[in-house]
Amino acid sequence: MQALFGKIVTAALGGMARTGAADHMSLEPDSPPAIAARAGVNADALSRVLRLLASVGIFTQTEDGRYALNPVSALLQRSHPESMRDVAIMMTDPWTMNAYSRFDHSLATGGDAVTAVYGKHAFDVFHDDPAQGENFARAMTGFTTTLIPAVMEVADFSPFRKMADVGGSHGVVLSKILAANPALHGVLFDLPEVIRNAPAAGQFAAFPDRITYESGSFFERVPEGCDAYIMKHIVHDWDDERCRTILSLMRDQLAAHAPDHGRVFLIEMVVPPVPDPVPAKFLDIEMLVCTVGGRERSPAEFAALFASAGLQLAGIKQIQSPVCLIEASLA
């Protein structure tokens, strides 16, 4: 029963995120009625939700029934520098919650449950429902913001002159890389509807002369003339065949422009060969249910995928985050 109750914790976190209730709390304990009055929510309901979440370590509860933030629940605040509020909202949006109602479809067929519910894959759902698409984009930006400092601690991008962030959304990853490497020029590449809003996001305001914006489908082309490509949480969205298409396009560019030192970098979770409950195993099921053929991969699976695209695995660097920095070179 404790395992089955997991959906209740997820929904409770989503509700706290959507109402912004945690923004009206602090490290000092306060009563549910006082918090509810500031947040504009029902006091009795808030008390019950906080009681549950405190019981699993997400808030702190005092003996007299007052509640305070702790380091976990503080991540629900919009102002927190590593806020997970947008991630909690996205993970409880209708497109994903409804998909899990058809988990049996994914288990029986291996197909994604989003298509079983909506008749189209998730990115088409976002196209038709921009609000959910915007929630997804904000969540990815928020998640990226929390992990990119750890990536930069282990990464060395100084040998490169031109790097493309493929599927880079509004450029959080690439902007941090350019800030740390003054000689590097960046190309932000994504779909037209994403790129048209990227300049306004202001990620490259400090170095506008070192960024180029390009739009298109990474199944058809990638930016030309680069000696490095980076993708964060792109490969895990797709099956091997589609990943091979993307990686092969990059291989061709590297072979033409940087055969000696060209690299492909992936920021992805890696499934380790141990039975422990690591985050990659949970995200792998999210990929099963919510993407068309997406999956988390083991080191051997990454090596095989690279090899199939004319690349070779050059290394996997574990960082202080659930993700790894994966590097590939020309085979």
Catalytic residue list:
236
Spatial neighbors of 277 by CB under 8 A, at least 6 apart, are none
- Which residue's entry shows tokens 């040998």? 159
End-to-end CA distance of the chain: 50
* Separation of CA 238 from chain center: 14
Number of helical H runs and strand E runs in the chain: 15, 9
Structural contact between residues 290 and 255, judged by C-beta atoms closer than 8 angstroms: no
- Token readout for 289 is 């249910």
- What value, to the nearest 5°, has the Cα angle with vertex 19 and ends 128 and 233? 50
For 62-114, the DSSP string reads -TTS-EE--TTGGGGSTTSTT--HHHHHHTTSHHHHHHHTTHHHHHHHS--HH
Spatial neighbors of 155 by CB under 8 A, at least 6 apart, are 177, 265, 317, 325
H or E segment and range at residue 211: strand 211-215
H or E segment and range at residue 240: helix 240-257
